[in-house]
Structures are given as structure tokens and as C-alpha cells.
């Protein structure tokens, strides 16, 4: 039995022989190692092109902005996993990455899609950004979807990373089109939702990255790569100072059981 | 029921209030975003210290060296996973990272442990490096373990990344102690194993990283972070030009079934 | 900094003291181990109720039907992962489960949602099943979604597991409402899509399970649990007779590199 | 470039044509679906043989025993992952399974290896079980390894699942050799370790399974399959009554930050 597609697979990323490894058309050992920085290499891997100085600076800043924010749920999941399976660091990293979903870090991608839609609406129909933003947001809500990238449980004012990322983007000389779109969304949201929801880092990241030509389809990869660095930091700490099981204990200190009990049984203290 | 440890958890990595995020004692928005590069930030996250210029350069080179090497098994696993679950990029990345195990990329850590042991043997007993290397290798073999980081299925001569990493380390001015140990192991291996096994990239990485003070316990994190970048490159290509199912088809073209068959049944072509 | 919701967590699944473990209101050691079969226990865990004899028989049959179908992509991904990380069986199982996504096994859930929608349409507006099926399918297509659970790359006629599952359901005495809906969809599909797409196992499973009261929200859990059994079978074989790297080699035998090459470089054979 | 092994892959588990699926020599649709229970099918998948009635009963009991024990760390990790990525149930299951490591559920396998070693010692050298048990335990400790499967943070007396599993095994008529070995270890442990460590469920499972011929190499698969059922129960509850973020909040309520602070900065309440 044969499974899958009968086509011959092809890839444009890497080839090699026993002396040379070619990545995206460049000789890895001669042209890249020690010559191109890892962040620029990430851009090259994803897009097939080296980044401009502007794109390099902005991508680097977004990776630093999103790599670490304390013991968020995915970090807790990762540290608990390492506590239970200390021999398999890769498993604990994987568990942490699995929490980079639509609700948390995946908002970078969905916010990016909203901005790209607003950009298209504004361009095609020559709309002012606020008008296009209002239409884009209303479309999303009509489809029953949440507005990604606005509001934060901790940072009620604008997330401080937003201002800093916009500052870096301005310093780097980005065109600022998608930052303007992100701010237009922030302006129209109260009129639509009745709530003051300020730009958070998950909206700022696609705004500055789309302004430097980073592909929409790869946006979700940025928080994943960044968080991998953060997770490794936490896991190295976990190996030295384990708290995975302590977190688990704390989490259940006040846990209530709401199901039925066997007849006549009550738990001992 | 309470689960886990009754201790209060503590971490030295990150704290924050609604205006400020502190990472390793620095203000993320004021001091780090747009000022410290992502690779240096990774070093800071893992160690609590900013890297020296030398350490920064070497760590960056190792990340570039190991990020990508074509459609290796973990990349295939990742692309097949995305083909089956295209909505969950994080799941496909996780599947790829799960292949960073002891046989493949985990060798960076186990080779690093061997080099640290040889370093300790040489220092404590004032042995020449070749003598200490021979003893370290024999200890590992006596414990029934493979020698990690030597030999490569494709690169029969030294993996070309090895020379380049050693060159970058020399240019950066590293002390070279662990590179010398890695080469001592290469010299003594034929006498012990009867086989010419040349240094591969998984041994070169810990050699140059231990020389710049990167912690032994975090070595496995380097290929994991690097490969995450490579995986994201492949997954962005997979979204645009899917080959996950084609790889799967090719893999089983000549598959033989070696189990029993129901009486009287033969498969139709 | 506090993260997450300020509510006290609650769960109705399990509580315990040092002598007794209560699951869904029953004493695990006194009432369940050795008395309730694992498949019935799965039903109890998911729904809070023991299954009827009918539900038990049907759920068991669906788990057997979907557990194993050879070296499908998720099994390949799992075996490649074990080859690279043989110490971490749990990581290889996890890699395989990550391939239970929307395209492959997740179709059980999306097909179930379609059937539930058709059931509601037929009930609320007193429509014949074929009319409701046509409307349900057209809704899905208008939303740009594929029709899940129909067609199979290998089994061009009806997947043989379909007839057998429907037979088991009939023997068990299920009401057959959702089987009738699944067949109505099969009848109307050619008129809508222009293609003969026959019911496959991913549509048969929700049809028979919804007929015995298995919850829609848990449908995706059935292929995941079933495939876990299949994956473990493959991984035990992989430990004894490794093929993970052989699969990987075969997959890339004809791989073409379609990217640029460094000036003047051609690969050696 | 070709990657991996140049051998042709083979497997003895499954083959098929467009009408028939063969698993372990049996016709899936004719002989297995609706005829062989899922637990027996799991035994067949793993071993290539249908289980005896005795083996079937014991395997089923172990799966029920270990499937669920409340909000243990891996369940918390899984529910937090679903809260962050609710669209990807398979990712949350995978995150939970990744916690089935050496410290927690993996003890089933390592305890099984200890029992097999003690069995071999006793047989080869005609030792009494207590003598062989003492020797086996001392070997493990000499190698710097923990004794798996003894002691439990909650159940200070014998874990209640142990007595029940041994009872089921006795009722089923198992030879009891490995149960006797497990109890011999329990007897000799206080003399060796100075601590009363009672048999827990992770030692009872391999004891009863090895007595019915379940392969040592597959032991770790039993808790993984069982926990998958438990995880799905929790995840279905999480979809209806989310507590993933509440657990995360509770876990960090008393979290202390032990790192440095920027000069002059103190967190606001």
C-alpha cells in the first residue's frame, strides 16, 4: 500500500554534497556562519532573501519583545513537563510551544491578517484608514471572531512594549503604513465594541513586521521562535531550581471538586 | 486533594508591574528591545549575564551552523504534521523539536559532558589532553554509551561546519581549551574504536561554546533554538508548496509487509 | 505579577484522599478497576455517565476501526521522532498525535458538526433528510469549507470500515438517525460537487457515535485515543526493528532542490 | 542529497488494498471491528498476538487504574495548553503526554526493568527472591539511579490501586511471579534505604503485566494510552468549563521574584 501523494517532493531551502551545504543559494560555511547574524539568517530561511538593515533591526526587536514575560501558562506547562520528564528537554520545549495558540501568541498572525485586509480595503477603494479599519473590524465581528491584539489582562494602558516597538520601527525608518493601520483600529474599537481596548504586543509585532516586508504567512513563527528562547531560559532554571511541582501544588490549593461522591463517603482532611 | 510540592515557587528571570517588565534585572522596554540583539538576549535569559563580544560572536555562529541542513527526519516529521494539521503551526514546530533527541541534535549536550569530564580529568590529575581524552572515552564506552559528536553519514571527512566554527572561535579570541579537547578525542578515537570518526558539528558546537562560558546544562538548548528557526522556514514553504504527503508517499513506495496474511487473501495491485 | 484568571478552579472529574480515589462519583478501586472495562471507563471519564450496552459496543468498534491503518504520515512522523530520540517514547507518541489535525483525523469532529447541523435543520423545519443535507452541505461550501468525511485516496468505493461500523451499529440497535444523515449527505454530494465522494471512516465514526449519545465536543478524542494505541504498536516495533531513518531516506530519494546555487558550484554526486 | 538509511523499510503491522485492511494477519473489518475489544486489539497491535483471557483482564484493569488521578501536573499542562490553543485539541493531548516521563509515569517501565533483572538473577543463580531483590536494588543504587515505583506523595500507606490490581491479577489466575518480586523489593527496601517506601501503582502495573506476558519494551505505552483517555476527559471539561488560566493564576499567586531589579525601580502593587 502506498500512502500520500505520488508527486516528487521539491524544496528551495537547502541542498548539499559532502563538502558544501547550500542554504537559500548561499554557501553555509563560506558565506553565512560567522558572517550573517542568526536573526538575519532566520529572515533568509523564511523569505529566501537577506533582510534590509531596516528589516533586520525591526525583526530583532520583535523577537526580544516577545521572548519572555514571566511564568505565563505556556511556561508553567513547560516547567511542569520538565519536572515530570527531566531527561527530555525537547519535550518540555515542545509542550511550551504547543501553548502558542490562537488565544495567546497566535494573535500576531490573526492581527496581521486583519491589518492586511484593512490595507487592501483602503487601497482598493481609496478609503481613509479609519474608515477601512472600521469596515475590517466589523467584517471580523460579523464572522463571529474576536479582535486579536487589543487589550491585555495586566497592562490596562498600552502594553509598554508597543511604544518601544513603534519607536524602534520609526528609528529604523520603516514606512509606518501598518503601524498607522494598527492605530486606526485602536481608535475605532471603542465605537464598535464599547470598550477601550489598547494595542498590545501581539498587534504591534505584525504592524512593524509587515512594514518591513516580513511575510504574513510567517508571522506566527516570530513568537514561536522568540518563546523558544524564553522557554530554554526557564528550563535551564528549572533544572537548577525546580519549581514545576510547586507550581502544580499551588495551582490546586483551592481546587474544588464539583462532581458527585460515592454514597456515604467524605474525604479525610 | 493537593498535588505537588508545598513550597512557594520562585524564579529569577522576570517580574513586572503594569508599566514595566523586568528581565534578568534589566528593563525590557528601556534597556533591551532594539538595544540588545536577540542572540545576546538568549544568552542573558539563559545565564543571567550579557555575553562578552567573544561569546556573542561564537553563540551566533553556532546557531547559524545548526539551524538548517535540508529535509532531515525531524523536518520531514514537521512537514508531514503540518500537512495533516495545517491550522496548528505550533504543533508542527513541536513535532519537529521532538526529534532533537539523544541520537541527533542531543549529541551537542552529551559531547559537552564528555569534554567537561576530560577537562576535569586533565586539570585534577595534570594529564596531557590526549591521555585525559583516552580515559574519558574509555569511561564512556565502559558505561556502554556511544561517543557523541564524531562521524557523520554524509560528511565522511570532517563536517565542513567544524572548520568554520573553529575558525570563528579563533577569530573571536576564545581560549581554545575545549576545541583542543575535542581534537584530542578525534586523535584517540581510531586507537580505541578502530574507526576513523571525524569531529562533526555536534561536537564542534559544545567545544566552542564551553570555551566562551556557555553553561553545559544549556547546551541542548542551542540546537533546539536553531532548529526552530529552520523548522519555521520549512513550514512557511510547506504552506505555500506542500510536500508533506508527497514525502510520506515516497517513504512507503518500497515498503514491505512482513507480517502474516489472512488465509486465502492476497492483495490486489 | 499574577497571571491568569482570579477565579478558583473547579473540576467534576476526580477527587481523592489518602485511601480513596473517586472518579466521576465512583470509587476507583472498589467499583471500577477490574469491573468496568477501559472503553466504558473512557465513556465515563468524558461524559460523567457509564455507557449503555449499545453505546459501549459502538464506541469500542469505532476505536478498533480507526486505531491502525499502516504507515500513514503521522505514524511515519512518530517513528522518525523515536529514531532520533529513542529515550523519549512519550515524545514520539506526542509527535504522532500532533498529526491528528483537521485534514486527517479531525474530520471526525467536523463531519459530526455537519451532521448535527443537518439534524437541527431537519427537526426545526421538518425537512426531509436529503433536503436538510443539501442545505447543510451548501452552507458549509458557502463558508468556504471542505466537506469532511467523504472520499478516500485509497478506498475509491466506500471505505470497507464504513459498512462494518454501520453493521455493528445496527446489530447494537442504535436509532440510526445520524447514519441516515450521513448517507443523505453521500446521496446529495454528487449533485452539489459533481463528484462521487463516498462516505469514509471519518464520517462513519461520528454518525454511529452521535446515535449513541457520545458528545459532539468529544468526537475528536476518539481518533486520538485510538491512534495512540496504534502509535504504541508501531513504536514498540520501531524499538525492535528500526525503520525511522530508512523511511526518511526513501522519502528524499528523488527530492529536487529548486532554489538557487552559489555561483560556479555544482553538487558532486 | 539523500538522508537516512539506504535500506528498504519493512513492517509487520498492517497492509491493505482498496477492499481489505489487514492488521497483524487479521482482516480488520471481518474479524476485528465489533468482534475484538479495543483493549485486546491494543494487545494484538503491540505483540502480534491476541491476549489470553487472563492477559486481557489484567491489561484492562491496569489501563483503568492509571488513566485518571485528578489535576496532576501533566493534566494541568494539558488544560493550560488548550486554554491557549483551543482549536488544537491534539496539541493539548500531546502536551499532557509529554509529561509521561521518567519521574512520573515512566516509572512503570523502569520498575519493570528492575523486576526483570531480579527475575533473571533469581533464575540464573537460584536465589531466593528477597536475596535477588536486594542485589537488584543495590545494583540500581550503585549506578546512581532511583528506585522506581515505591513511595507516593499522597498515599503514604500502599497506594489503594496496588491491592486492587493484585486482587484482579489473582482472580485472573496469573502466575504471580512478578508480583512476588515487587513485594520482595518492598520488603528489602527499608534495610537498604532506611525508609519505608510502599509499592505504588507504577510498580504494581509492570508486576501484573509481566505476569501475563506483556512485553517489557511496551510497558511505558500502558500509562501513555491510559492517560490519553484521562486527558481527553479533562479537555472536554476544559472546553465546557475552562480552568486552564485559573490554574495558571493560582500557581503564581505567591510566586517570588529572586533576581535583581533595575536601579531605583520597585514594582507597583
| Phi, psi torsion values for D22, nearest 5 degrees | -105, 125
Chain D positions touching C218 (Cβ under 8 A) are 232, 236
User: What is the pLDDT, as a whole number, of residue B12?
Assistant: 97
The answer to whether the CB atoms of D248 and C4 lie below 8 A apart is: yes
Q: Which residues pair with A256 in a beta bridge?
A: C10
Cross-chain Cβ contact B24/D265 below 8 Å:
no
Please calculate the CA angle D108-D96-B238 and round it to the nearest 5 degrees: 120
Inter-residue contact D240 to D215 (CB < 8 Å)? no
Q: What is the mean pLDDT of residues D111-119?
A: 97
**pLDDT, position C224:** 97
Distance (Å, whole) CA A77 – CA D247: 11
User: D12 φ, ψ to 5°?
Assistant: -105, 15
Q: What is the ipTM of this complex?
A: 0.95
Residue C26 bridge partners (DSSP): C23
C-alpha distances (whole Å) from B261 to each of A174, B84, D20, D22, D26 are 66, 30, 11, 7, 7
Backbone angles phi, psi at A139, to 5 degrees: -60, -45
Query: How far B173 CA sits from the closest chain D CA (Å)?
Result: 30
The SS3 call for residue D256 is strand
CB B99 to CB C88 under 8 A? no
- pLDDT band for A1, please (50, 70, 90 cuts): very low
Compute the C-alpha angle C253/C258/C262, nearest 5°: 110
Q: Give D265 to chain A, closest Cα distance, Å.
A: 15
C91 min Cα distance to partner chain A (Å): 6
Q: What distance in Å separates the CA atoms of residue A109 and residue A116, rounded to the nearest whole number?
A: 10
Phi and psi at B21, nearest 5°, equal -115, 120
In this predicted structure, the answer to whether residue D32 has a pLDDT above a threshold of 90 is yes
Q: Is the pLDDT of residue A64 over 90?
A: yes
Q: What is the pLDDT of residues A161-198, one digit of tens each?
A: 999 999 999 999 999 999 999 999 999 999 998 888 89
* Interchain proximity B95–C77, CB inside 8 Å: yes
8 Å CB contact of D95 and A81: yes
Burial class (CB in 10 A: 0-12, 13-18, 19+), D168: buried
Least confident window among B104-108, B152-156, C187-191, D95-99: B152-156
Flag the least confident range among A41-45, B44-48, C18-22, D79-83: C18-22
Which residues does D254 contact at the CB level (< 8 Å), separation at least 6?
Answer: A250, B8, B9
Backbone angles phi, psi at B10, to 5 degrees: -140, 150
Q: Is D47 exposed, middle or buried (0-12, 13-18, 19+ CB in 10 A)?
A: middle
Beta bridge partners of D26: D23
Instruction: In whole angstroms, give the CA distance from residue C107 to residue B164.
Output: 48
**CA–CA min distance C119, chain A (Å):** 22
- Nearest-angstrom CA–CA distance, A238 and A251: 17
Residues of chain D neighbouring B8 (CB-CB closer than 8 A):
254-256
Average pLDDT over residues B237-261: 95
Would you state the pLDDT for residue A154? 60
Rounded to whole angstroms, the Cα distance separating D28 from D14 reads 10
Cell digits of residue D81? 495548553
Distance from CA of C215 to the nearest CA of B (A): 22
Could you tell me which chain B residue has the CA closest to the CA of D9?
A: B255
Q: Do B89 and A229 touch (CB under 8 A)?
A: no
State chain D's mean pLDDT as an integer: 93
3-state secondary structure of B256: strand
The phi and psi torsions of B41 (rounded to 5 degrees) equal -65, -40
Question: Using a CB-CB distance cutoff of 8 angstroms, which residues of chain C are in contact with residue A12?
Answer: 257-259
Q: Is the pLDDT of residue D85 over 80?
A: yes
- The continuous run of DSSP H or E covering A10 comes out as strand A10-11
Ordered per-residue pLDDT tens for chain C, 269 residues:
444 556 889 999 999 998 899 999 999 999 999 999 999 999 999 999 999 999 999 999 999 999 999 999 999 999 999 999 998 999 999 999 999 987 777 788 999 999 999 999 999 999 999 999 999 999 999 988 888 899 876 656 778 999 999 999 999 999 999 999 999 999 999 999 888 889 999 999 999 999 999 999 999 999 999 999 999 999 999 999 999 999 999 999 999 999 999 999 988 86
**What does the block give as the cell for C70?**
499502516
Whether residue A235 is predicted with pLDDT greater than 90 in this model: the reply is: yes
How confident is the model at residue A44, as a pLDDT?
A: 98
Whole-structure pTM value? 0.96
Q: Residue B1 has what pLDDT?
A: 43
Check residue A2 and give its pLDDT.
47
DSSP C169-228: HHHHT---HHHHHHHHHHHHHHHHHSS---B-HHHHHHHHHHTTT--GGGTTHHHHHHHH
What Cα–Cα distance (Å) separates residue B124 from each residue in B127, B128, C238? Answer: 8, 11, 43
Asked if pLDDT for residue A3 goes beyond 60, the answer is no
Q: Note the pLDDT of residue B269.
A: 65
Q: Are C85 and B95 in contact (CB under 8 A)?
A: no
Question: How many beta carbons lie within 10 A of that of residue D124, not counting itself?
Answer: 9
Angle at A167 between CA A161 and CA A172, to 5 degrees: 125
Strand arrangement, sheet containing C14-16: C14-16, C21-23, C26-27
Write out pLDDT tens, residues A95-128: 999 999 877 777 889 999 999 999 999 999 999 9
CB contact under 8 A, B95 and C103: no
The closest CB to that of B243, out of A6, A11, A226, belongs to A11
Inter-chain CB pairs, B–D, below 8 Å: 144
pLDDT of amino acid D231: 98
Cell triple for D223: 500509562
Chains touching C (3+ CB pairs < 8 Å): A, B, D
Cα-based distances in Å from A246 to A88, A155, A225, D252: 20, 27, 27, 10
Whether B212 and B58 have beta carbons less than 8 Å apart is answered as yes
Cell of C7: 477565579
- With both helix axes pointing from N to C terminus, report the angle between C177-193 and C201-210 in degrees, rounded to the nearest 10: 140
User: For position C166, what pLDDT does the model report?
Assistant: 98
Using CA atoms, how far apart are residues A34 and C39, in angstroms rounded to an integer? 56
Contact B243 A9 (CB under 8 A): yes
The contacts of residue A201 (CB under 8 Å, 6+ apart) are A65, A66, A152, A159, A161, A162, A165
**Do D15 and A1 form a contact (C-beta atoms < 8 A)?**
yes
Query: Could you identify the residue written with the cell 472498589?
Result: C30
Where does residue B26 rank: exposed (0-12), middle (13-18), buried (19+ CB within 10 A)? buried
Closest-CA distance, C90 to chain A, in angstroms, reads 8
Confidence band, pLDDT 50/70/90 cuts, at residue A155: low
Q: Does A24 have pLDDT greater than 70?
A: yes
Please give the angle made by the CA atoms of B36, B42 and B45, to the nearest 5 degrees.
100
In chain A, % of residues over pLDDT 90: 82
Contact check, Cβ <8 Å, D9/B252: yes
Residue B27: closest C-alpha in chain D: D262
Answer for the pair B46, A237: CB distance below 8 angstroms, yes or no: no
Amino acid at each position: 500500500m502506498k500512502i500520500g501523494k505520488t508527486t516528487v517532493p521539491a524544496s528551495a531551502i537547502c541542498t548539499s554534497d559532502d563538502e558544501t551545504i547550500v542554504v537559500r543559494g548561499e554557501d553555509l560555511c563560506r558565506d553565512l556562519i560567522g558572517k550573517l547574524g542568526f536573526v538575519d539568517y532566520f529572515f533568509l530561511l523564511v523569505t529566501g532573501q537577506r533582510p534590509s538593515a531596516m528589516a533586520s533591526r525591526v525583526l530583532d526587536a520583535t523577537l526580544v519583545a516577545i521572548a519572555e514575560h514571566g511564568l505565563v501558562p505556556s511556561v508553567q506547562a513547560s516547567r511542569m513537563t520538565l519536572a515530570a520528564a527531566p531527561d527530555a528537554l525537547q519535550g518540555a520545549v515542545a509542550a511550551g510551544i504547543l501553548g502558542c495558540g490562537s488565544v495567546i501568541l497566535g494573535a500576531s498572525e490573526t492581527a496581521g491578517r486583519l491589518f492586511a485586509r484593512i490595507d487592501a480595503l483602503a487601497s482598493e477603494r481609496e478609503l481613509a484608514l479609519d474608515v477601512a479599519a472600521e469596515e475590517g473590524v466589523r467584517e471580523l465581528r460579523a464572522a463571529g471572531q474576536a479582535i486579536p491584539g487589543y487589550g491585555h489582562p495586566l497592562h490596562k494602558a498600552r502594553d509598554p512594549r508597543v511604544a518601544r516597538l513603534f519607536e524602534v520601527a520609526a528609528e529604523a525608518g520603516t514606512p509606518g503604513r501598518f503601524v498607522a493601520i494598527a492605530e486606526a483600529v485602536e481608535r475605532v474599537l471603542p465605537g464598535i465594541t464599547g470598550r477601550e481596548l489598547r494595542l498590545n504586543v501581539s498587534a504591534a509585532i505584525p504592524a512593524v513586521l509587515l512594514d518591513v516586508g516580513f511575510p504574513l504567512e510567517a508571522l506566527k513563527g516570530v513568537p514561536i521562535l522568540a518563546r523558544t528562547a524564553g522557554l530554554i531560559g526557564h528550563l535551564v532554571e528549572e533544572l537548577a531550581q525546580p519549581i514545576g511541582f510547586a507550581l502544580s501544588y499551588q495551582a490546586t490549593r483551592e481546587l474544588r471538586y464539583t462532581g458527585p461522591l460515592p454514597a456515604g463517603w467524605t474525604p479525610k482532611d
